[in-house]
Chain A
Amino acid sequence: MKILVCISNVPDTTTKVKFVESDTKLDTAGIQWVINPWDELSLTRALELKDDASAGVKSVTVAHVGPATAEPTIRKALAIGADDAFRVNAEPADSYYVAAQLAEVIGREQYDLILCGIESSDYNGSMTGGMIAEFLGIPSVSAVSDIKIENGAPIVIRETDGGREVVSVPMPFVVIVQKGIAKEPRIASMRGIMTARTKPVRIYEPSAKEPLTRITVFEKPSPRAACKFIDPENPGQLIALLQNEAKVI
């Protein structure tokens, strides 16, 4: 079984984002780039499956669409334990464009399980996984919080609005992963960092695809009014404010 983990390169989640060029572009000065948190958990789970000999996972490959500046993030994924990687050398214009590029390569290279995080922490699109599956005409299961391999067949748990379901789908399919899939992201060991340098990263030029959307400008959320402090000895005052001023209880 070959597993592919799609990763997005995002600003560290503690970043205070700022914009430049009349609020049309992210100010990248001083930003630490990381693997999108959900993708990092997907990668961790893929590697756990590979460690379990009974699961029969032959390889874990990492996929990314982005310019060469994303190389450190891909190397980090290799250091954590992925076997190899490919990068489509293009600006990720929108989710449709990214998914189209990934689907093109996946169609050629053939993977059995394709893992995508449910969302990226930058554009919060929640789109790429489902789009890849539709481009390839294969099933997708979304909001997956657990995946096991039993007798060579994947069994997943998907979260629903108000419960969960144990689901089986024939391979190949796209697993859209949410919290719970792995407890803590795996950290690279020193040996992992050393070996990552020589692991293969295939670089592909993009195929001719067009994005369907574009962002024209970013806005910061409007600042909230200053906090009103209430005497801790008299919290009844808070309840009165919530009832009469905010009118929310």
Chain B
Amino acid sequence: MSVLVYAQNWDGKFKKSSFELVSYGSKVAEMLNTSLICLSIGTVSDEELKKLGNYGAGKIIRVNNEFCKILDNQVYTDIIAQVALKEEASVIIISNNTEGKAVAPRLSVRLKAGMASGVSKLPLSIAPFTVYKRTYSGNAFAHLVINTDIKIITLAQNSFSLIETPNNAGIEDMSVSIDSSLLKTVIKDTQKQTGRLLLTDAEIVVSGGRGMKSPDNWGPLVELASVLGAATACSRPVSDEGWRSHEEHTGQTGKVIAPNLYIAVGISGATQHLAGVSSSKYIVAINTDKDAPIFEVAQYGIVGDALRVLPKLVEAVKELKK
């Protein structure tokens, strides 16, 4: 028996979210009194793989062959399934990010393993195996029992803290035979976002809504994000109007984020917006309307005009950082 974490890499590197996943896996392995195995797919250096050992991995398996170069959901499912069976994994843990959402459901069918997505706590119990997951877009959480021998969990991002458990984990290169007819995805073009902090990775997010009044007013908001080392986001009306790019839209149908600090500027806080940000650890709201629903979920609020408040905040942060 073992717990298997699939640790995705980005151009050969792991992110903080990878280590959160491994920390979580390590605790689940402890609950089950078994060891944690981490699986990496693609080209990742020994040095980078060793980092997984710092968070409790007992063994690191690297699968790297000609079929791993691009994400093909069938190929990746096949690799993870083969490794899971070989290592007799009883729990498989994957990030609830874009790649996790693409692969984990296929794996569930392949292994006939019950799956829970968007899990944000350690299992509530081992027998029956019960997890805590987001439902109704953050308006409720469910206790979900998985009935199968193999369980699959996708972990919500930024929901579990890093725990350093140094372990001198060995690296094993595993060869996995892949049926070449599975590989059907052809990538015709790739556009990468470079130089900008990814919204889903950011620990601080500054977000603007209709209260910003015009796309020309974003200067001080972007500056506040810059001095705080934050990513920028926006509400749906703002992206629908084309004031900001769709990639910045946070909310029900946009990105769901859980930063440590979410600063909502000129956002009233409609249910659909809150669905995307309600898991943030702290919410700050700046709005002219003191009755705006955003203040019901915010810990700190300023009732005032965003365009007047923002420059003062920028100054205050600059003062602090001096």
Most buried by A among B115, B203, B313: B115
B316 within 8 Å of A (CB atoms): yes
The stretch of A81-89, A116-124, A194-202 that contacts the partner chain: A116-124
B211 within 8 Å of A (CB atoms): no
A179 to chain B: which residues have CB within 8 Å? Answer: 246, 249, 253-254
Do the beta carbons of B105 and A130 come within 8 Å of each other? Answer: yes
Write the nearest CB–CB distance from A89 to chain B, whole angstroms. 22
Do the beta carbons of B320 and A221 come within 8 Å of each other? Answer: no
Q: Is the interface of A mostly helix, strand, loop or mixed?
A: mixed
B109 to chain A: which residues have CB within 8 Å? Answer: 96, 99, 130-131, 134-135
The digit string for B99-140, where 1 denotes a CB below 8 A from any CB of A, is 101111111111011111110000000000010011111111
Which one of A134, A162, A220, A224 contacts B105 once the chains associate, using CB atoms below 8 Å? Answer: A134
Do the beta carbons of B102 and A130 come within 8 Å of each other? Answer: yes
- A96-B115 contact, Cβ under 8 Å, with A127-B105, A142-B101, A249-B317: yes
A161 within 8 Å of B (CB atoms): yes
The stretch of A48-56, A58-66, A231-239 that contacts the partner chain: A231-239
A215 CA to B285 CA in the complex, in Å? 34
B184 to chain A: which residues have CB within 8 Å? Answer: 139, 169-170, 173
B77 to chain A: which residues have CB within 8 Å? Answer: 134
A159 within 8 Å of B (CB atoms): yes
A241 within 8 Å of B (CB atoms): yes
A111 within 8 Å of B (CB atoms): no
A126 CA to B272 CA in the complex, in Å? 18
A159 to chain B: which residues have CB within 8 Å? Answer: 98
Q: Is the interface of B mostly helix, strand, loop or mixed?
A: mixed
The digit string for A12-56, where 1 denotes a CB below 8 A from any CB of B, is 011111010000000000000000011001000000000000000
Do the beta carbons of B144 and A214 come within 8 Å of each other? Answer: yes
What residue in chain A is nearest B254 (Cβ atoms)?
A179
A212 within 8 Å of B (CB atoms): yes
> What count of chain B residues pass the 8 Å CB interface test?
98
B148 within 8 Å of A (CB atoms): yes
Do the beta carbons of A124 and B137 come within 8 Å of each other? Answer: yes
B177 within 8 Å of A (CB atoms): no
A246 to chain B: which residues have CB within 8 Å? Answer: 261, 281-282, 299-300
Do the beta carbons of B98 and A230 come within 8 Å of each other? Answer: no
Do the beta carbons of B190 and A213 come within 8 Å of each other? Answer: no
Q: For window 76-110 of chain B, which residues contact chain A by CB distance below 8 Å?
A: 77, 96-99, 101-110
A72 within 8 Å of B (CB atoms): no
A149 within 8 Å of B (CB atoms): no
The digit string for B271-313, where 1 denotes a CB below 8 A from any CB of A, is 1100100100111110000000001111111111100110011
A144 CA to B316 CA in the complex, in Å? 41
In the A-B complex, the 6 residue pairs with the closest CB atoms: A232-B304, A130-B105, A212-B114, A142-B102, A134-B109, A236-B316
- A-B contacts, 16 of them at CB < 8 A, read A13-B275, A19-B140, A96-B109, A124-B135, A124-B136, A130-B109, A134-B107, A141-B102, A160-B98, A165-B190, A170-B184, A219-B141, A228-B299, A235-B316, A239-B316, A248-B204
8 other contacts beyond A139-B185, A213-B116, with CB at 8 A cut-off?
A15-B271, A126-B96, A131-B106, A166-B188, A212-B114, A220-B141, A232-B304, A235-B302
Instruction: Spell out A's residues near B (CB within 8 Å).
Output: 11, 13-17, 19, 37-38, 41, 94-96, 99, 118, 121-131, 133-135, 139-143, 145, 155, 159-170, 173, 176, 179-180, 183, 212-221, 224-225, 227-232, 235-236, 238-239, 241-243, 246, 248-249
